Chains A and B, each alone.
Chain A
Amino acid sequence: MELSGHYFPPGRSQRLDGILCVDAAGSWIVMGDRRLACDLRAAEVSERVARMPRSLTFADGGRFDTQDERLDEALIVAGHARASGLVHRLENRWLWALLALALTPALVFGLMHYGFPLIAKPLSAVVPPAAVSALDAHILEILDDHLLTPSELDDSHRERAARVLAQIDSQGEYRLLIRKGGALGANALALPAGALIVTDELLEQVEQDGELLAVLAHEIGHVRERHSVRQILQTAGVALTLSGLFGDLNGVTDTLLVSLPTVLQQLAYSRDFEREADAHALRVLAEQGVSAGCYASILGKLEASQSGAKETDGSYAFLSSHPGTAERVGATGSAAQECGRVAKPD
């Protein structure tokens, strides 16, 4: 078998036209009147990329390049154990390329929607408590500096809040912080390590203890499910994936392509988290024998007092624009009027 190509002697930049002759007895490279014996079995075969010629590198450093398709055959004749070149076969067929094109978005979507949340959940449990508390302190500092101001309520409100929390937090795992909400309005926030921030504005709206209980249970749900840590992990995963795909684009397109889907993803994630926290709140209400109507009641009041508050980075605002309040009220399965009837305040 004869394959034409080029021979490159070791340690020089020369290129010589040559023919690789292979038969059962051995192999040679013939260049004009020169004949060079070579050991094909010990040669290293380069992996194939597109139309690039394949290279055989011999033990002495000499190299032979050929475009000839029969190289595989020749290698078998010479007794060389060849690598499969599977990736090249995938790349070489439009069918596979189109299949990859269809599969990739599906996979990326699946990874973001199911994969990362699935990974982030157990991973969030491994994050050391010290790191989570540091996170708490840091977020609280930012909130106190920019958004919240000290509470202006009288002691009766504080005592009530402390009493309601004690009802569902017998172990004393959670720390209650009361602040004037300002721009946040009537709202409640849960910090990752268990600080619950309730605003003056919210406490003023509360008529039944059950309503406050529902709000605190929802926030505790966020803490217990480690939503903040999971959100950070998931967002990091999404950002890494996207920058990996379009990594070496020049600056401008980068940010456009990477930041937009990340924002969308973040909204979708927090929707799932809100549902989890709501479910937890309803469970706690049932345990405490408080009507789910209290949850519907406070949700309705907050909806009326402000049309959706913004979420603050790393923490969870009680009233976010998603899922719709109507949907959440519906999920409680009770009417707001039922609140007072079951849990009698006094």
Chain B
Amino acid sequence: MGDAGAPIVENQWNQPVEFKGPEPWLRLEFRGQGSEYFRVWIVNVLLSVVTLGIYSAWATVRNRRYFCGNTFLDDSHFDFHGDPRAILVGRVIAIFLLAGYAGGGYLHPAAPAVTLLLIAVMMPWLIVRSLRFRYRNTSYRNLRFNFVGDARQAYGIFGTYFVVALLAVAVPAGLGWLIAQEKLAGIGLFLGMIMVYFLIYPAFIHRLTTFTTSHSAYGDTYFAPDLKRPAYFGFFLGSLGVGLVAVMAAGIGVAIIGALTGAFAGYSPGGSAPKFAAPLIALIILPAYMLPYAFWQVLTSNYLFNNTQLGPVRFRSNMTVFGYWGILITNTLLVVTTLGLAFPWAKVRMARYRVESLAYQGDLEGFEGSLVRDRGAAGDEIGDAFDIDLVGI
């Protein structure tokens, strides 16, 4: 212990990372174990149930500490210091929003729509607050991460792209209407939607990712992303194409099973399809739906790490779409067949894959930071930061 991180080790999922420059690429390591996390998880679950959910905020902190604490970079682990009370506040607000959306319809037909609108309007603020809470409470060695983006900037980005999207639809549709009424207005509308879908949405994700990354820091050193917009067009088109192919393949598979089980049942009026048909069909359809998700996640995440620098440190992420997809599928099977009991193992597997696909290059010892810790700011923390799990970017 104590010397520089272990030399790069090939693991079962990964190609070896490329060596470049004078310093070697070193891999991050995940040291969590399913059986150990199982104990943490089940005790958390029990205490959460006993306390009617109140303990779940404390459980969340322990969970995060477990995953941060087992993620090792140069033989030092990360840590999470969030105040469970802040998480509890966020959770209570989230429950009210959820209730408004799910149950509000009983009271007033407009309630779910109003709640959705409220969530949409709050979204930029929520993202900024959640990121701030997460980053400021995450540490590596003795330095905290930080997020300095403010809600005003986030509203600017969301607002701009919203207006652009609106114009992209309204202008072609309006022009079409002026030229040939219904005939062309529909086509204009369609073109506008295509534009929103294939150009504006990926551009928005690119802008948002750049914003959140460039306003993140480790100590006083900011992350410097160099993300190109066209790459996101590619990821989006790619995952859409992959999804289309996968769903079509699944459709053919289901049709074949339908024909085969129909043959088994002998097409007799009373004969029902064999019992294994439904699970078999689920086995084909679920992976098909997961593939585009895996594609998007892996490509955007790899791209972000590979093109972001932190002071002298650079990163490489080489997750593969099939590796990630395989874990998604097997995890789902594992969890469903064990009625949820294998959940801790599933989570640990995914975390290990994500962490151990990462490598870094550069000196980690030279970072400094003025924001040493948030001590004494606990009250402030509850008031202004709450944590809702919607930061999926």
Chain A residues proximal to chain B, CB less than 8 Å: 6, 8-15, 17, 46-47, 49-53, 55, 57, 61-63, 87, 90-94, 96-97, 100-101, 103-104, 107-108, 111, 131, 134-135, 138-139, 232, 236, 239-241, 244-250, 252-253, 256-257, 314
- Asked if A248 meets B389 with Cβ closer than 8 Å, knowing A90-B43, A134-B108, the reply is yes
B36 touches A (CB below 8 Å): yes
Kindly list chain B residues whose C-beta atoms are within 8 Å of the C-beta of A100.
42-43, 45-46
Do residues A97 and B336 form an inter-chain contact, with CB atoms below 8 A? no
Q: Which residues of B contact A250 (CB under 8 A)?
A: 328, 331-332
- With both beta carbons as reference points, the residue of chain A lying nearest to B370 in the complex is identified as A11
Q: How far is the CA of A100 from the CA of B328 in the complex (A)?
A: 27
Q: Which of B189-242 contact A (CB under 8 A)?
A: 218-219
**Whole-angstrom CA separation of A96 from B45 in the bound complex:** 13
5 smallest CB-CB distances across A and B, nearest first, come from A8-B142, A13-B367, A52-B69, A97-B39, A100-B46
Known: A6-B76, A15-B76. 14 other contacts (CB 8 A): A12-B143, A12-B369, A13-B219, A17-B1, A49-B69, A50-B40, A50-B66, A50-B70, A52-B66, A57-B373, A87-B62, A92-B39, A232-B106, A240-B53
Nearest residue (CB) in A for B75 is A15
13 pairs, A vs B, C-beta closer than 8 Å: A11-B368, A12-B365, A12-B367, A50-B39, A87-B43, A107-B46, A134-B106, A134-B107, A236-B99, A244-B53, A246-B340, A248-B347, A249-B343
- Interface flags, B316-351, vs A, CB<8A=1, else 0: 000000000000100110011001110100110000
Cβ contacts B355-367/A at 8 Å (1 or 0 each): 0000000001111
Chain A residues with Cβ below 8 Å from B52 are: 111
Contact A13:B106 (CB < 8 A) given known A57-B373, A111-B49: no
A104-B45 contact given A11-B142, A232-B103, CB 8 Å threshold? yes
One of A15, A50, A53, A314 near B36 (C-beta < 8 A):
A50
- Give the shortest distance, in Å, between A101 (CB) and chain B (any CB): 5
**A244 proximity list for chain B (CB < 8 A):** 48, 53, 56
User: What is the bound-complex CA distance between A53 and B45, given in angstroms?
Assistant: 24
B354, CB-defined interface residue at 8 Å: no
Q: How far is the CB of A190 from chain B (nearest CB, A)?
A: 16
CB distance from A195 to the nearest CB of B (A): 15
CB contact list, B109-146 vs A, under 8 A = 109, 140-143
A119 to chain B, nearest CB (A): 9
Asked if B290 is an interface residue, CB under 8 A from chain A, the answer is yes
Inter-chain CA distance A246–B366, complex, in Å, is 40
* Chain A nearest CB, measured from B366 CB (Å): 7
| With contact pairs A49-B65, A51-B36, A91-B43 given, residues A13 and B290 touching in the complex (Cβ less than 8 Å) | no
B286 interface residue (CB < 8 Å to A): yes
Q: Report Cα–Cα, A107/B45, bound state, in Å.
A: 11
Q: How far is the CB of A135 from chain B (nearest CB, A)?
A: 5
Cα(A91)–Cα(B43), bound, Å: 6
Q: Closest residue to B334 on the A side, CB-wise?
A: A253
Residue in contact with A49 in the complex, picked from B62, B109, B341, B343, CB distance below 8 Å: B62
Q: How far is the CB of B223 from chain A (nearest CB, A)?
A: 14
Q: Is B79 located at the chain interface by the 8 A CB criterion?
A: yes
A314 touches which of B106, B142, B289, B340 (Cβ 8 Å) = B106
- A106 to B239 alpha-carbon distance, docked (Å): 43
B50 contacts chain A at the CB level, 8 A cutoff: yes
> Are A241 and B53 interface neighbours, CB within 8 A?
yes
CA distance A51 to B39 in the complex (A): 12
Instruction: Determine if B43 and A15 form an interchain contact, defined as CB atoms under 8 angstroms apart.
Output: no
Q: Decide yes or no whether B47 CB sits under 8 A from chain A.
A: yes
Q: How far is the CA of A96 from the CA of B39 in the complex (A)?
A: 8
| Assembled-state Cα–Cα distance A247/B42 (Å) | 14
Judge whether B2 is part of the interface by a CB distance below 8 angstroms.
Answer: yes
Instruction: Assess whether B372 is interfacial by the CB under 8 Å rule.
Output: yes
A138 and B107 contact, CB distance less than 8 A: yes
- Judging by beta carbons under 8 Å apart, are A101 and B369 in contact? no
Complex contacts, A134 vs chain B, CB 8 Å: 106-108
**Residue B283 at the chain A interface, CB threshold 8 Å:** no
A97 to chain B, nearest CB (A): 4
Q: Are A138 and B106 in contact (CB under 8 A)?
A: yes
> Quick check: is B256 within 8 A (CB to CB) of the other chain?
no
A193 to chain B minimum Cβ distance, whole angstroms, is 12
Q: Cβ of A50 and Cβ of B108 under 8 Å apart?
A: no
B108 A138 Cβ-Cβ under 8 A: yes
Neighbouring B residues of A52 by C-beta, 8 Å: 65-66, 69-70, 77, 79
B38 at interface (Cβ–Cβ under 8 A)?
Answer: yes
Q: Kindly provide the distance from the CB of A84 to the nearest chain B CB, expressed in whole angstroms.
A: 14
B95 is an interface residue with CB less than 8 A from chain A? yes
Measured CA separation A62–B105 after assembly (Å): 53
Contact of B141 among A8, A92, A93, A245 (CB under 8 A): A8
A252 close to B332 (CB less than 8 A) = yes
Residue of B nearest to A7 (CB): B142
Q: Among residues 304 to 326 in chain B, which have CB atoms less than 8 Å away from a CB atom of chain A?
A: none
Complex CA distance for A107 and B49, rounded to whole angstroms: 7
Known: A87-B62, A244-B53. A13 touches B286 (CB 8 A): no
Contacts of A139 in B (CB 8 A): 106
Q: Chain B residues near A239 (CB, 8 Å)?
A: 102
Q: Let me know if A12 and B47 touch, CB within 8 A.
A: no
Contact B142 A138 (CB under 8 A): no
